[in-house]
Structure 1
Amino acid sequence: MARPPVLAALAALALTLPLAVAAQSTDALESAAQQAAQGKDYGRAAQLLRQAFEMDRTNPGLLAGAAGYDALGGNGDKALAGLRQAIDAGYLDADGTAADNAFAALRGDARFGALLAQLRQRQQIESKLYDSDALASPYTENLSEDEKVAGLSKFWSEVKYNFVYVDTLKAIDWDRLYLEYLPKVRATRSTAEYYKVLMALCARLQDGHTNVYPGPQLRNTMMAKPLLSTHLVEGRVLVRKVFDPALQARGIVPGTEVLEVDGQPVTEYAMRELAPYASASTPQDLERRIYTYSFLSGPVDVAPRVRFRTAAGKNFETTLRRLTLETYDKAVPDTPPFVFKTLPGNVAYVALNSFGDDRAADAFLAAFDRIAASSALVIDLRNNSGGSSNVGYRVLATLAGQPFQTSRWETRDYRPSYRAWQHTMPNYGEPAPAWPNDAAHAYRKPVAVLISSATYSAAEDFSVAFDAMGRGIIAGEATGGSTGMPLFLRLPGGGIARICTKADTYPDGRKWVGKGIQPSLKVAPTVLDVQADRDTVLEAAVAALKKQI
């Protein structure tokens, strides 16, 4: 999920320029603070975050972060005073503070315990307005009718006042849908069935950053999966990866086509069993969700019967055992956030597979000298579903010769009195902030970025900035077409929902959410490519780069 830049930008620039130059915005200040902390200069890191708070006094978390740096630096008294100042400014994250290892040295200090108690008390009071325990009852096999209606009503009202795409609410008549779904939730006979109804309602919003998620008690009832992955290629569902040797022994290998599931043609199965519950921003996003992420998922104690066709044209049928998500996650190898290799022709290949933490950017900068020795660079985002936009911007900064623009954004600015006065309520927005280039790590050779429908959220923010700076080729297929800042809320029965509160565009205002970032070099894999394990997207990008070398 993406947000306006808040963390991790350019270490070298922030640390080498004078403070007055580096601190052009809270973004640059936070970037400098993070890098100062990595160099164990905790006093300077705390100073930078306090300076950032003076620029944005709506974010008391900056003061709490500064207190954490003071604690890491061994200045316990200053850390406690800073945490107290953060609480007075409106900071509420008691659980996060208690778990933050930055405060480890203070956990035995009675003053720290008293501040945590104060935080929890204030958090409890504040939660009664927006996140009351009364509407977050624990899981039972079948929630009461009152709890079900309350959960529906909470989701409906939070969407009505926070979902950023107001025109969508008007087009689908959100109030009418609420009335339509009231009898549906009342008719459910289990909590699992209730959550499917909520997911179906949410899917009507057609936004990939607005979702309903059942609680952990229902994961094995609704989301267990067999040990393989699939993908829609040229209108056919193909096996892409197999993580169980027993399945391979039965002939299920990459390139095998799925024909039927439980006697239903594969497309009919996906559209009937999966599509109604999938929240997606674009057609390509929906395809990815139902033919890859959710395909063949369901109750752990039910084994779907699947009909396959081999690459040689032989049909066969077998049952597939579903595994709990915990077992599935243990069996499936982790995808590293950063992969680097040198291709023939001295072309550097870098896969940035996740922006979920700083590892991809840290590894890129650590390998920069080897990357810089290449004649051209490919950055592969095809398997990157997002995280923090700032992680990607740290990499982009090495490709820019000057500060570059990131995304414009808007959010709703609801004012009750304006509504009473019948005044218009335009969105609040900010222009695309500039992210500083990394003069200490400068790559000026030809670059290509690879994208697919799985390129999502913060990875799309990367693609927007790369496209806007005109730095190179974008090859592959249109991205998923969704980003934003989700608002999370608890629901009865242990589940949660998230609602997209921020609309992003290109720096010049061009819309891409609901469309996807479009490649300048359109290349899509074919069935034969998958069956031959051939990466035609990478091949096309490398061929185009070699013409520029």
Structure 2
Amino acid sequence: MKSIFRTLFGAATAVSLLLPVVVQDAGAKGATHTVALRNEMAHQLIAQALPSTAVSPIYLYHRCWNIINQQYFDKTYGGQDWARWEHHYDTKIKNKDDAYKAIESMLASLGDPYTRFLNPEAFADETNSIKAHLFGVGIQLGMSDLKKIVVIAPIANSPASTAGVLPGDEILEVDGELVAGQPLDSVVKKIRGPINTKVTLTMLRDGKRIPIPLTRAEIPVKAVTKAVILPGNVGYIRLDSFISAKATEELKEALTKVEGADSLVLDLRNNPGGLLDNAVQIANLFLKGGVIVSTVDGGENKASTISRGQPTFEKPIVTLINGSSASASEILAGALKENDRSVLVGTKSFGKGLVQAIQKLDDGSGMNYSIAKYLTAGGNYIHKKGISPNIEVKLSDDEYKKGLGPWWIDPTFKRFNREPVDGFDIQLLAAMAEAKNEVRKAKGQPIEPFKDEEVRKQILAKLAKPVIDTKKAAQAGSEKPTGHAASDFAQPKAPGVPARN
């Protein structure tokens, strides 16, 4: 069980970059694709190797083959004869690049998107994310249907925010090179770089080209991105991911900020996962007992993790999920729901039920590979199925594009600096209403049904009005109203959370 507790969970398909891409994924309302340190992670255990040294390329290939042979969770290996790969490339591998390509081909044969090879750079990125290390300039980016790369927001106290980068700035050039027509991940590679190195971004703002020189730095990675008490004395905590080893401590601190609330809304929307230990420890903060999660390895050996039964928060909880709530998010949501500790509100979760290890190889590269499947607290295998909410609150594409999705995402790029109290997030409003009803139930009082259709109409009426972003206008040196127009941004439909550069 000790090794299981060091396992990581995640589901976002990503590249080794530090910027988000807005992409399509049916059922994931308001999701953004993680282009960051979290490379295609599922539930992962870090296994150590010797310090990086010069090793035989063929040795690397055979080491990977042997790891899969011994530890892969599916002993049919995707319905193939795994032995055929052992010496398949022996005469073709001449150098390290050959070995890398051969390993990638071998792993692809498993048909498992969560089992993959990591070159040294990708492996370093992934392990840095666990340590909450992120290196860049500190901006969140989105790409529109018109292929414009636009700043969602600069991260507080980052090089970008200090230099005056604003939400809505469009990136035209990176170090003098035009980025029009380039994929977002390609642009990200140009922006990324070692700490203390420089990069100049040329922005388009109010029709003017503005070059902004930046020096790359370490950006703090936060697991909890919001902890406030909302109207009706409802506590609210947004848990962005479980990837940082500090996530549990951050959640504990967040609970102290809402301890005066009558109830809690725990927002796991767009949370792709992270450390299993964080999911277990956070579940322990809320549960009085019961199973949290079980794992089943390739030998069909089952191990269950039981709650300590010493919760620090015992008030009513409502948990928000959507199609981008994955892996560790599903572990926590499942544990809370199936132990009758929380009502789930939103849409069906992603459905990631496999456990991966991340193995460091001798040359500094690494490999993610599936070592087990997990079962929720109720013994359910949710892979490719997801967890259904108790109260479903769907969003149409049109509603999402108009801004009824998660409060921190504005597809119109017209209302920056949004907050959960703004009243546009229909799922959050439904969760708040349910949280208040849970308090009423505990007191034996009649509940007040959430008037979904009426509230949606009210939100759409507010969103139809012109908006002035006074904070942005003041920073830009001018104040002028900006209409709330139809967005050229497609509704995101892939698991993930905004990542940072």
1:228 to 2:100 alignment: no
- 2:237 is matched with 350
CA distances 1:517-547 after superposition (whole Å, capped 9, x unpaired) = 5664345445216753436898334311343
CA distance in structure 2 between the aligned counterparts of 1:516 and 1:336, rounded to whole angstroms: 22
Trace 1:196-235 onto structure 2 (pairs within 5 A): 198=103, 202=107, 210-215=115-120, 227-231=138-142
CA distance in structure 1 between the aligned counterparts of 2:98 and 2:179, rounded to whole angstroms: 22
CA distance in structure 2 between the aligned counterparts of 1:354 and 1:542, rounded to whole angstroms: 18
CA distances 1:423-457 after superposition (whole Å, capped 9, x unpaired) = xxxx3234x554254366421x251335673x554
1:374 to 2:261 alignment: yes
CA distance in structure 2 between the aligned counterparts of 1:357 and 1:388, rounded to whole angstroms: 7
Contact 2:228-2:257 within 8 A present in 1 as well: no
Deviation at 1:259, TM superposition (A): 8.4
What SS does the aligned partner of 1:410 have? strand
Contact 1:458-1:483 within 8 A present in 2 as well: no
1:468 to 2:354 alignment: no
CA distance in structure 2 between the aligned counterparts of 1:307 and 1:196, rounded to whole angstroms: 36
Trace 1:235-314 onto structure 2 (pairs within 5 A): 238-242=150-154, 253-256=166-169, 270=185, 296=190
Any gaps of 5 or more consecutive residues in structure 1?
8-129, 274-290, 414-426
Contact 1:473-1:521 within 8 A present in 2 as well: no
Residue number among 298, 306, 310 corresponding to 1:438 in the alignment: 310
Residue number among 375, 386, 395 corresponding to 1:505 in the alignment: 375
CA distance in structure 1 between the aligned counterparts of 2:83 and 2:211, rounded to whole angstroms: 45
Contact 1:255-1:531 within 8 A present in 2 as well: no
- 1:388/1:543 Cα in 2 relative to 1: closer, same or farther (>3 Å)? same
Q: What amino acid sits opposite 2:64 in the alignment?
A: F
Trace 1:144-159 onto structure 2 (pairs within 5 A): 147-159=56-68
Contact 1:338-1:360 within 8 A present in 2 as well: no
- 1:398/1:161 Cα in 2 relative to 1: closer, same or farther (>3 Å)? closer
Contact 1:337-1:359 within 8 A present in 2 as well: no
Moved more, 364-373 or 374-383: 364-373
Residue number among 411, 416, 436 corresponding to 1:527 in the alignment: 411
Contact 1:211-1:497 within 8 A present in 2 as well: yes
- 1:542 is matched with 428
Moved more, 235-244 or 456-465: 235-244
What SS does the aligned partner of 1:527 have? coil
Contact 2:78-2:111 within 8 A present in 1 as well: no
- 1:253/1:480 Cα in 2 relative to 1: closer, same or farther (>3 Å)? farther
What SS does the aligned partner of 1:484 have? strand
Deviation at 1:378, TM superposition (A): 1.8
- 2:293 is matched with 407
Identity across matched positions, percent: 16
- 2:222 is matched with 335
CA distances 1:154-177 after superposition (whole Å, capped 9, x unpaired) = 112212332214456336x76667
- 1:407/1:497 Cα in 2 relative to 1: closer, same or farther (>3 Å)? same
CA distance in structure 2 between the aligned counterparts of 1:320 and 1:166, rounded to whole angstroms: 53
Q: What amino acid sits opposite 1:486 in the alignment?
A: A
**Aligned residue-pair number:** 366
- 1:424 is matched with none
- 2:454 is matched with none
Which structure would you say has the larger Rg? 1
- 1:377/1:183 Cα in 2 relative to 1: closer, same or farther (>3 Å)? farther
Contact 1:2-1:387 within 8 A present in 2 as well: no
- 1:2/1:138 Cα in 2 relative to 1: closer, same or farther (>3 Å)? same
Contact 2:103-2:117 within 8 A present in 1 as well: yes
Output the aligned Cα RMSD: 5.3
CA distance in structure 2 between the aligned counterparts of 1:318 and 1:485, rounded to whole angstroms: 43
CA distances 1:350-381 after superposition (whole Å, capped 9, x unpaired) = 23455567855456556757635323312233
CA distance in structure 1 between the aligned counterparts of 2:90 and 2:193, rounded to whole angstroms: 26
Deviation at 1:503, TM superposition (A): 0.9
Residue number among 284, 305, 319 corresponding to 1:448 in the alignment: 319
- 1:499/1:328 Cα in 2 relative to 1: closer, same or farther (>3 Å)? farther
TM-score, length-scaled by structure 1: 0.50
Q: What amino acid sits opposite 1:542 in the alignment?
A: L
**Greater relative CO, 1 or 2 (CA 8 Å, sep 6+):** 2
What SS does the aligned partner of 2:355 have? coil
Q: What amino acid sits opposite 2:151 in the alignment?
A: V
TM-score, length-scaled by structure 2: 0.54
Contact 2:171-2:179 within 8 A present in 1 as well: no
CA distance in structure 1 between the aligned counterparts of 2:244 and 2:184, rounded to whole angstroms: 36
What SS does the aligned partner of 1:406 have? strand
Q: What amino acid sits opposite 2:72 in the alignment?
A: F
CA distance in structure 1 between the aligned counterparts of 2:87 and 2:414, rounded to whole angstroms: 46
Deviation at 1:395, TM superposition (A): 3.8
Any gaps of 5 or more consecutive residues in structure 2?
8-46, 126-133, 396-404, 437-501
- 1:486 is matched with 357
Residue number among 284, 302, 311 corresponding to 1:429 in the alignment: 302
Residue number among 118, 135, 160 corresponding to 2:69 in the alignment: 160
What SS does the aligned partner of 2:78 have? helix
- 1:297/1:469 Cα in 2 relative to 1: closer, same or farther (>3 Å)? farther
CA distance in structure 2 between the aligned counterparts of 1:500 and 1:169, rounded to whole angstroms: 12
What SS does the aligned partner of 2:79 have? helix
1:459 to 2:329 alignment: yes
- 1:297/1:3 Cα in 2 relative to 1: closer, same or farther (>3 Å)? farther
CA distance in structure 1 between the aligned counterparts of 2:382 and 2:159, rounded to whole angstroms: 43
- 1:181/1:496 Cα in 2 relative to 1: closer, same or farther (>3 Å)? same
